[in-house]
Amino acid sequence: MSRRGFGFIALEPFYFRSKLPMQRVAECVGANNIVLKKWANGRKAQQFQFDPVSKTIKGMYWTSYVFSMEGTNLRCRTHNSRWF
């Protein structure tokens, strides 16, 4: 798949990693909040993928939830048909 449109490879798992010295990764906790946690090999709650059809970032563990940025807060929310 191509990276041209959004900079992601479609449906390929990736991590959101912090640039701070501990290099923690974002994890969707309880299908609601996204927090920084220590990296764990193969943990699906820490993996995300870009969906080219809906143009959203989805979690690999909570598959019906998408990555949502609300100001400075990050959340996992249910997907709706709107594209922002």
pLDDT of residue 57: 87
Q: pLDDT tens digit string along 8-55?
A: 888 899 998 999 889 899 988 877 888 899 999 889 989 999 888 888
Domains of the chain, by residue range, sit at 1-53+61-84
pTM for this prediction: 0.79
> Smallest Cα–Cα separation from 29: which of 50, 45, 18, 48?
45
Would you state the pLDDT for residue 53? 85
Q: Is the pLDDT of residue 83 over 70?
A: no
What is the structure's pLDDT at 75? Answer: 84
Q: What is the 3-state secondary structure (H, E, C) of 63-79?
A: CCEEEEEECCEEEEEEC
Q: How far is residue 76 CA from its own chain's centroid?
A: 8
